[in-house]
A and B are shown apart, each in its own frame.
Chain A
């Protein structure tokens, strides 16, 4: 087809998507309104933080990264884990999974947005972000691990946007997607998913002065937990989509993802055990931070409740996901997912970033407790991420299921659906 066709079709496609994204049932509007409200609270807190300085956070020169970087780290895992669904779909030719891979890619896109926002709110001078741009700024590549992270995260975003955009656009035009235009990128995104999480781990493990992070197991542990949170989130998301859009989503993907989780929750616990063994049996400087994390030290124990909650949640999710009853009761499965999700969130956040700073490099114990400002901004960013995800899923699915296509768009309306599948039902 002539490229000129695309010049006309593509803007029309985007326009339709945009219009559709603001159409929906009362449920959709309520959901989006609530999210907008939370996002605005976060935006307001951020505006204050920018104006008055990061003194509004609980961070200090001793604990120079806190809740933001913790959530960033977790978000990278979520983004990487989401794409892991691609592995069963394409590597092992599980065809039922094909339908839902796109959901994983969309989740990855939303998660990367969340990660980038967490980086921005952690910067003292966000308006100087252009200093990071290769060419016009002074990009310290390849020496600084942070520049690697910038490259892989943005690359990952572009790859996933391309895959999603291409597949949805082709469906919109009513044409069969051409393999050479997306398959190579799908495989690339698998490798890339590993890379974003490894590079993020290297960000920490590359710091020789911080013994807590200076462990070769850090990257593998990151990957294992990514394989937990990604599937856990998608399992719940798929059910929500099935419930609110009436799209036929089979049991197959849920089963596959549950199997993945069964392995990874155990793997994660095993690696945690290995770390603990090295720390406590061998001792040394690595152990000081671990001791503080698990038992407190010198009368300070801000992290103790966090980490034990994380361990309890991780163990509980491992038990629940292995119960035979979980195969039959979707409620139990969702419980396991929620436990695992929160468990990993704490473990990769408060349990990983903060103990890297406590005790400090001069062995001072200065504790960190996030302030209300930090919680507001954090909630705001996650709410924004959910908005992105909701809109993305909401516009992608009608196109994929053929409800919205170029031929209809030209008529200016969407073909009616069978009863019970109300058009524009919200996802949520």
Chain B
């Protein structure tokens, strides 16, 4: 009896050792993963709870990290929303020709992954006479504008009643005072619930670590906008807040060759965006969902 018991005990010990070794072996690829994991980043607080000092240190750390991982000196800032500013965007569908210069500019401005050619803007080629997205096509590959078609660029609508913000379980995404919906890339847990919730396909997930050659990196970066995002978090259009909060225009607007895009402060009665809203017949996409977008479409005629 005691013999069998001790034999059993030895066997168990051997089994446990073997199991532990096999487990360690199976999990070995994790050393790669944990190298990228710093204690400071792991313990970092939510954006809204950071003091100025803490944010300063984080920005320094992020710059060093970009240098180490991507080989480029960059400037990362954390510009707050301006008092009395509420951003709005409008797009003239009569003049948009579907050239996708805006998507390209977005891709470069926001340091998107080069391998996937990502962009926050998707341009749909639509059937003349129909607003039904079912008849749209985002993967057209011929000279534009094509006969019988019009073009509908779609990006984040910075919804005032944003489903993405509502569903996020950890408040990693929220609406700023100037109306821009942002993501704290250092807080997002990567559940992609917001991606499922957004009715405008405006969110992107970093399925792998973004690849960008050092010379192509845009060094003018914001903590909440175009800094190079970590693997495993969700990102989105921020109306280029690192530019617009400094008084400049979004990159997509500057790139548009036809002047289809209008951007500005909704609270300023003399702004071009106000003129469009007051003088054009304006509509929003999927109004029935109650998302209350601050991205508007209009036709000239």
Contact = CB atoms under 8 A, between A and B. Distances in A.
Given A59-B207, A207-B167, A362-B138, A128 B189 contact: yes
Given A43-B27, A143-B166, A64 B208 contact: no
A36 interface: yes
Interface residues of B, number: 61
Nearest to B167: A144
B281 interface: no
A363 interface: yes
A285 B200 CA distance: 15
A122 interface: yes
Contact of B200 (A132, A150, A207, A362): A362
Interface stretch (B18-26, B89-97, B241-249, B264-272): B18-26
Given A53-B232, A207-B197, A123 B189 contact: yes
A59 B189 CA distance: 17
Contacts of A22: 12, 15
Given A53-B208, A53-B232, A144 B193 contact: yes
A124 B26 contact: no
A318 B12 CA distance: 45
A294 to B, nearest CB: 17
Contact of B208 (A40, A55, A139, A288): A55
B137 to A, nearest CB: 8
Contact of B172 (A61, A131, A359): A131
A135 interface: no
B232 A125 contact: yes
A146 B191 CA distance: 10
B81 interface: no
B17 interface: no
A47 B192 contact: no
A208 B198 contact: no
A246 interface: no
A188 B230 CA distance: 43
Interface string A59-81: 11110110000000000000000
A60 B166 CA distance: 22
Contacts of A122: 191-192
Interface string B77-100: 000000000000000000000000
Interface in A92-148: 119, 122-129, 131-132, 137-140, 143-147
A407 interface: no
B195 A52 contact: no
Contact of A137 (B25, B139, B170): B170
Given A125-B190, A131-B189, A36 B205 contact: no
Contact of A144 (B136, B168, B204): B168
Contacts of A8: none
A357 interface: yes
Contact of B27 (A47, A119, A124, A206): A47
A360 B201 contact: yes
A62 B196 CA distance: 9
A409 interface: no
Interface in A190-208: 203, 206-208
B169 A50 contact: no
A9 interface: no
A144 B163 contact: no
A44 B136 CA distance: 42
A53 B206 contact: yes
Given A22-B12, A131-B187, A361-B201, A124 B232 contact: yes
Contacts of B234: 124
Interface stretch (B29-37, B57-65, B215-223, B255-263): B29-37
Nearest to B115: A55
B164 to A, nearest CB: 10
Interface residues of A toward B: which range?
Answer: 35 or more
A125 B188 contact: yes
A327 interface: no
Nearest to A36: B19
Nearest to B33: A51
Contacts of B166: 143-144
Contact of B169 (A41, A65, A150, A207): A150
Contact of A64 (B19, B168, B192, B209): B192
A48 B130 CA distance: 46
B134 A124 contact: no
B7 interface: no
B207 A54 contact: yes
A22 B234 CA distance: 43
Nearest to A32: B15
Contacts of B23: 40, 43
Most buried by B among A131, A143, A150, A360: A131
A364 interface: yes
A44 B23 CA distance: 8
B71 interface: no
Given A123-B190, A129-B189, A61 B289 contact: no
Given A145-B167, A146-B193, A208-B199, A138 B29 contact: no
Nearest to B113: A55
A222 B139 CA distance: 36
A379 B9 CA distance: 30
A275 interface: no
Contacts of A65: 192, 196
A147 B42 CA distance: 21
A209 B197 contact: yes
A146 B134 contact: no
Most buried by B among A48, A52, A144: A144
Interface of B: 8, 12, 15, 19, 22-23, 25-30, 32-33, 37, 42, 46, 122, 124, 133-134, 136, 138-139, 154, 163, 166-172, 187-193, 195-201, 203-209, 231-234, 286, 289-290
4 closest Cβ pairs, A-B complex: A124-B190, A209-B199, A124-B232, A53-B208
26 contacts: A40-B23, A43-B26, A44-B26, A50-B29, A51-B30, A52-B32, A53-B207, A61-B203, A64-B195, A64-B196, A124-B190, A124-B191, A125-B232, A125-B233, A127-B42, A128-B188, A128-B190, A138-B172, A140-B171, A143-B166, A146-B191, A208-B163, A288-B134, A362-B124, A362-B136, A364-B201
Given A52-B29, A61-B205, 19 more contacts: A44-B26, A47-B26, A53-B208, A64-B205, A119-B191, A123-B189, A123-B191, A124-B191, A124-B205, A125-B232, A128-B170, A140-B171, A143-B166, A144-B167, A207-B163, A288-B134, A362-B124, A363-B134, A363-B136
